[in-house]
């Protein structure tokens, strides 16, 4: 049985998007461990010895029970270019610990900083983030990403993103792409479309 991960943003003593992380944990337990009471993130985090200044990634590894919890000072990777790479990975509603398939895709980035993965001719995610593309008026995010991230879920709920299939052939109809995940806020990391290489 695989193990699962939640990466929660902690900034100056505040945990971000806990309810959405909890919903994802609850789904893991409903799908894999229905007889077990889900881990309660609020209880777990409050009891932990968490840093109260700076930005940290709270990394929780679990299966039917807690396996580890650590706080890692967060330094954002700079991503200025993306390489289009085909993948056959399935869409998942939760994060699994095993990144083998993501690492195989990432290794194909050539001179670029990261990969932008394509499945069935549709854009999905980078190896570390969800994406949204700006068409001059709206931000569009792929309807079927590889991972339904918590930041993405919040942005969709707030009507800041429109969910839609994006074909590779439509890529250059857009002006720029935003990369975001649990640690990177929407708008913090944007790349011009011409920095995406075939």
- Is residue 83 exposed (0-12), middle (13-18) or buried (19+ Cβ within 10 Å)? buried
Compute the mean pLDDT over every residue in the chain, rounded to the nearest whole number: 96
Fold of 4-73: D-amino Acid Aminotransferase; Chain A, domain 1 (3.30.470)
- Cα 192–130–68 angle (5° rounding)? 135
With cut-offs at 50, 70 and 90, classify the pLDDT of residue 2.
Answer: confident
- Give me the mean pLDDT over the 13-33 stretch: 97
Instruction: Give one DSSP letter per residue of 112-179, joined into a string.
Output: SSEEEEEETTEEEEESS-EEEEE-SS-EEEESS-SB--HHHHHHHHTTSSEEE--BGGGGGGSSEEEE
How high is the pLDDT of residue 1? Answer: 66
Is residue 12's pLDDT more than 80? yes
Name the pTM for this structure.
Answer: 0.94
* CA neighbor of 94 nearest in space, from 145, 133, 132, 139: 145
pLDDT digits (tens, 9 = 90+) for 33-79: 999 999 999 999 999 999 999 999 999 999 999 999 999 999 999 99
Q: Is beta strand 55-62 parallel, antiparallel or unpaired with respect to 176-180? A: unpaired
pLDDT class of 26 with cuts at 50, 70, 90: very high
Query: What residues does each domain of the chain span?
Result: 4-73, 82-197
pLDDT in tens, 74-133: 999 999 999 999 999 999 999 999 999 999 999 999 999 999 999 999 999 999 999 999
82-197 CATH: 3.20.10.10
**Across 132-140, average pLDDT:** 97
C-beta of residue 82 within 8 angstroms of C-beta of residue 196 = yes
């Amino acid at each position: 049985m695989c193990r699962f991960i939640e990466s929660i943003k902690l900034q100056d003593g505040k945990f971000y998007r806990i309810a959405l992380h909890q919903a994802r944990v609850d789904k893991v337990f409903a799908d894999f461990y229905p007889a077990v009471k889900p881990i309660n993130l609020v209880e777990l985090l409050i009891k932990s010895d968490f840093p109260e200044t700076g930005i940290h990634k709270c990394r929780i590894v679990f299966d039917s029970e807690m396996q580890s919890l650590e706080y890692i000072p967060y330094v954002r990777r700079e991503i200025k270019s993306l390489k289009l790479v085909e993948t056959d990975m399935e869409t998942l509603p939760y994060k699994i610990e095993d990144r083998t398939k993501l690492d195989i895709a990432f290794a194909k980035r050539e001179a670029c900083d990261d990969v932008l993965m394509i499945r069935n001719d549709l854009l999905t995610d980078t190896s570390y983030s969800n994406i949204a593309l700006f068409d001059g008026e709206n931000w569009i995010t792929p309807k079927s990403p590889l991972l339904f991230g918590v930041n993405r879920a919040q942005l969709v709920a707030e009507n800041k993103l429109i969910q839609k299939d994006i074909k590779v052939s439509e890529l250059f109809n857009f002006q720029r792409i935003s990369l975001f995940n649990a640690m990177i806020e929407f708008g913090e990391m944007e790349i011009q479309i011409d920095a995406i290489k075939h």
